Amino acid sequence: MRTLVVAPHPDDEILGCGGTLLRRKAEGGTLGWLIVTGMTAEAGWPIDRIQQRDDEIKTVAGMIGFDEVFNLGLPPAGLDALPLGDLVSSLSEVFKSFAPEEVFVPHHGDVHSGHRVTFDVVAACAKWFRYPSVRRVLAYETVSETEFGLCREDAFHPNYFVDIEPYHERKLEIMGVYRSELGVFPFPRSVRAMRALAEWRGASAGYVAAEAFQLLRERQ
């Protein structure tokens, strides 16, 4: 299976579906990683921080085993101010090039506007008659973003669970690469919180540890 994870920011891919990506790779799948935003000097980021983030991306790509990495390098702040048509065109090229069968996308109800914009753009790239390779689209949850959405009508309701027990400790190890994104419990992006979420999602589906998703569309 050809799996593409769309991450508004580096670390979203690990938080949302790192264990599932490791499992897909172990099962012989081909993995693609589409990073929507990036740090640039033009946006005011210091050179050493940009280099650190580039190194983090390379390290994570190797640890997960991504076959292809696509980095659009768009500004992390103000993604919602960019023309939607331009964003769709950029993602469309990746979808045509990689031809994913399975796509992971952030949840539309996330509190971060960049996550919501990313969802809308991916939705435009999930039409079967434009991108016939796409068979399954799943929304992942991102701790510190998904649970803080206040709109009940757009809450995260998982209906697709993946057993990640053999891969969960490795997921936590990889998340450690993004050390600047982690905090001390009860900070949401902490090892303890991530482990608790995996156990809770696992208990919801009869597993020791799981990642939960919303299945948005599937064609068989």
The domains of the chain are located at 2-218
Q: What is the sign of the dihedral through the CA atoms of 214, 110, 68 and 209?
A: negative
Q: What topology is assigned to 2-218 in CATH?
A: Rossmann fold (3.40.50)
What does the pLDDT read at residue 80?
86
If we measure between CA atoms, which residue out of 89, 69, 58 comes closest to residue 6?
69
Residue 154: per-residue pLDDT: 87
**CA–CA dist 6, 53 (Å, integer):** 17
Low-confidence ranges of the chain (pLDDT < 50): none
Q: Are 154 and 197 in contact (CB under 8 A)?
A: no
Dist CA 54 CA 89 (whole Å): 24
Provide the pLDDT for residue 43.
Answer: 78
Distance CA 219, CA 48 (A): 45
Residues 1/30, Cβ–Cβ less than 8 Å: yes
Residue 152 pLDDT: 78
pLDDT score, position 45 = 84
96 vs 21, 77, 88, 114, 210, CA distance in Å? 21, 27, 12, 23, 31
Identify the pLDDT of residue 78.
79
pLDDT of residue 64: 99
Structure token pair of residue 17: 């579906």
* pLDDT at residue 165, as a whole number: 99
**pLDDT for position 151:** 79
